[in-house]
Amino acid sequence: MSTSSRIPATEISGAYGSVIKLVARKMMGRVPDSMGVLWQNPSVMKDAMGIGRKVDNWHALESDLAAYAAMAAAATVGCSFCLDFNYFMAHNRGLDEAKVREVPRWRESDVFTDLERDVMTYAEAASQTPPAVTDELSDALLAQIGPAALVELAARVAFMNMSARMNIALGIRSEEFAAACGLPPLARVATASDPA
């Protein structure tokens, strides 16, 4: 389970709360602790979830590219909850788990196509402060995926940044959804402090 957030979780209650818990159990098998944190302000939670549902209905960008972009943005920002949740959701949607688990170390991995790498480069660049997307990268993606998919890519990365930065600020961390459904751990980037 997750470690303590910076704001205590509260009981999710009322008619709308019952619906939220029902949907969470259906989607994830349980009600995440993070939902109790967000329930401290139900309006914010409702609106954020509403945007998330709308994002899930976009389909100009291929679903695998959308998943890689979201996870690359989450990894860039450092949101362990977002990485874990998106890995779990990619599994539930039947995406290539071997590729999805490699997203945190995509630069070192040899499983991705050039297009997939361009999409993750874009997600990382758009997640920088300030954003570092270049004209050359945008032009390359525009030629490969078209304008509708490129607009969607930018919007998906922006939504992930909103979610990831909110989770990090609130102290919301991974709740180990992927481990609960038997998925192998996400790959991680080797650091200088790792043993050789």
Q: The whole model's pTM is what? A: 0.87
pLDDT at 3: 52
pLDDT at 189: 58
Architecture of the domain spanning 59-180: Up-down Bundle (1.20)
The span from the CA of 38 to the CA of 35, in Å, is 5
pLDDT at 183: 64
Tell me where in the chain the CATH 1.20.1290.10 domain(s) lie.
59-180
Segments of the chain with pLDDT less than 70: 1-3, 179-185, 187, 189-196
pLDDT at 51: 96
